[in-house]
Chain A
């Protein structure tokens, strides 16, 4: 039987030396920065926040709401979840449309008064084998309890976006190898953008426990 091999990951964070102190500049820079920067500020946000999810699930929304104190734009940007079939360019367009539309509705361009500018970053993910392999659901559950949280990120977020798999690695293995279609489906139904990685770990563990009790 094909094993499931846990792979963790580590993020190399790079500074672009570019910043925005107002919402117009933010828009211009979002258009200009490499897609690795869009990735950093939307996806890998989750990798950096193991326990504590911020008020909103991406850096752009948090900056608008907290640093610029424009809660309206913050809330609008918060709905941009890089899930489903979207690629990074789709996400970039969506962010730009939201800011553009927001700016056309407001008389003045909001800017940072007391807060910090938005510093653009980019990231590269390095996959690291953990050496942990499992062959059945019980082993998967046990390993999930102890594995580095970056493996949860790698198999759920990274698998879908950068590697462009249709589902999380857990769901694919559970369905294709173990034939546990229902559990795989339930894991796919989790709105991953509403959890921190530790929250996500607990949610998947809960579903595995339910399945094992059947």
Chain B
């Protein structure tokens, strides 16, 4: 169950000085304007999680904000899952029947939704075809949350027909920009510092999580939190740990989500378990999706946090760890390069050896590590908190509505 009783004022002493006042002033220009968000689910996934937090805050700011979802069929979801994979660069065949189902479901939903808002924000490809209901006076923006830096051309050509009719698009990274004749805005995603995954925890709460998983408290912890997915390179993390272990006694925690619905995930998890062999200092935790407190505690217990991805969308686990004052060593890909300022808030690396070297460096230089962690926290405060995200949305709305 998601709890959402935080008001904007709850963030006053967390956001940078002056941010909340700036947000209120910005919102004055949008008072009584109406905003409609549309996506494909209210539960599960990062977009729904974000909307649950954003919508009450938009309303608190005086913007009349609603949230609608579209309802699909199994074939529709199969199609949009295919779109998702194809747009992220994986080959995925889409039949003409699937394209037809996509259009049909969007048409059916368009008859049920009230589109009277001045600004309509459509999230991801699933409801993109609703653009056919755009009224002359309203402005429509397509918010793309996925990595479309190298999309499968046929799927993108199909989707572009709809996207090009919008008044603008929002992407999460510069590399996701497309050749489009509409304005393309850059808005980074964000973390909520008051959510269970990021809120302050007492030492007792942290200890209870470590005890629950039998993780020793007397050795430095190296932690990577991510799905068991090849692109997150968990096997590379184990290799790097083994190199470090020759010099420094430490433990490795690989904490990931449940892989039951992902056949490839299960395979990767098995490989990771095999690679860990019987090393008693490697902890592989296959956590259920609501393990937010556990993830929070593990990140807070870490001496070094890794996100050694070889391909990544934005990778918000980096900002989560940075918010907890941890230096992060991450693969030099996707949004990780935006979050980690090399040598300042952590290190980006390109190889197992590079990763191992930087882990050793941080373990042996605790003062450097502490200073980097402090900078990482401040950098996150400025750039990756929900308050900055809201400011960006309001600025975009002011620009699009020409206020």
Interchain CB contact under 8 A, A52 and B16? no
Contact mask for chain B residues 152-195; partner A; CB cutoff 8 A; 1 contact, 0 none: 00000000000000000001001111111001111100000000
Bound together, the chains give a CA A54 to CA B342 distance in angstroms of 9
The reply to whether A17 and B25 contact each other, CB–CB distance below 8 Å, is no
- CB-based nearest A residue for B341: A52
Number of interface residues of A (CB under 8 A): 34
CB nearest to A115 among chain B residues: B332
CA distance in complex: A101, B26 (Å):
45
Q: Cβ of A14: which chain B residues have Cβ within 8 Å of it?
A: 183-186
A130 to B391, CA, bound (A): 14
Pick from A15, A52, A115, A116: contact of B185, CB under 8 Å: A15
Nearest B-chain residue to A66, judged by Cβ: B342
B134 to chain A, nearest CB (A): 21
How many residue-residue contacts, CB under 8 A, span A and B?
92
User: In whole angstroms, what is the CA distance A21 to B106 when docked?
Assistant: 39
Contacts of B248 in A (CB 8 A): none
Contact B25 A116 (CB under 8 A): no
- Nearest-neighbour CB distance to chain B for A111, whole angstroms, equals 17
The minimal Cβ–Cβ distance linking B323 to chain A, given in whole angstroms, is 14
Assess the A128–B22 pair: CB atoms within 8 A. yes
For chain B, residues 1 to 42, give those with C-beta under 8 angstroms from any C-beta of chain A: 16-19, 21-22, 25-26
Q: How far is the CA of A151 from the CA of B179 in the complex (A)?
A: 34
The answer to whether B25 and A15 have CB atoms under 8 Å apart is: no
Nearest residue in A to B398 (C-beta to C-beta)?
A: A126
Tell me if A10 counts as interface (CB < 8 A to partner B).
yes
Cβ-defined contact, B344 with A52, below 8 A: yes
Task: Evaluate whether A119 and B175 lie within 8 angstroms (CB atoms) in the complex, with A17-B180, A51-B379, A66-B342 already known.
Answer: yes
Most chain B beta-carbon contacts within 10 A, residue among A13, A66, A115, A121: A13
List CB contacts (< 8 Å) of A123-150 with chain B. Answer: 124, 126, 128-131, 146-150
A50 contacts the other chain (CB 8 A): yes
Residues of A near B375 (CB, < 8 A) are: 51-52
With A10-B26, A119-B175, A151-B18 as given contacts, are A15 and B184 in contact (CB-CB < 8 Å)? Answer: yes
Q: Is A12 an interface residue (CB 8 A)?
A: yes
How far apart are the CA atoms of A124 and B383 in the complex, in Å? 18
Chain B residues engaging chain A, CB cutoff 8 angstroms: 16-19, 21-22, 25-26, 171, 174-180, 183-187, 332, 337, 341-342, 344-345, 350, 375, 378-379, 382-383, 391-392, 394-396, 398-399
Known pairs A10-B394, A16-B184, A119-B177. 4 more at Cβ < 8 A? Answer: A10-B395, A17-B179, A115-B332, A128-B22
